[in-house]
Amino acid sequence: MVQPNTITGTNGSDNLKGTDNNDLILGLRGADVLEGRLGDDTLDGGKGNDSVEGNKGNDTMIGGEGNDTLEWEDGDGSDRISGDTGQDVVEVEGSIAQGDDFLLKQSGHNAIFDRLNLVPFKLTVDTSETFEVEGEWGR
């Protein structure tokens, strides 16, 4: 099994980007911006108000302590999302023009967000205070 690349921030605010392989990206403290790339990444914002985006692959996004924004965009894979503590927002961007068909349901303590058509994906959200879906013309 290939070990993921580990990218570690500082106790200040960092802008950390992954590689085209599997990555473990750790923000530590501060208002961090974490961005995965290709591969199946794990992104953990740590303490602070962070912005976390997995991008391509089947990723795990963890906001950590603080008021975090966790983003999924059209074309990303199936992800697991946890805001952790704080007032967190999960943002999902779709396309009305492409005719996205979504289903939001509860499974135990998790929210499951499935796209049923086009290229299907699934988001499993275990903690978040706000869930926003955005099409081409806004929320």
The position carrying tokens 């911006």 is: 33
Alpha carbon distance 116, 90 (integer Å) = 19
- Separation of CA 1 from chain center: 24
> How far is residue 133's CA from residue 108's CA, in Å, rounded to a whole number?
22
Where in the chain are the domains? Answer: 5-134
Amino acid identity, residue 106?
Answer: Q
**Cα dist from 40 to 54, 99, 115, whole Å:** 8, 27, 19
Per-residue pLDDT tens digits for 84-138: 999 999 998 866 666 677 888 888 888 888 888 777 788 899 988 888 877 665 5
Tens of pLDDT, residue by residue over 50-80, are: 999 999 999 999 999 999 999 988 778 899 9
Position 38 confidence tier, pLDDT thresholds 50, 70, 90:
very high
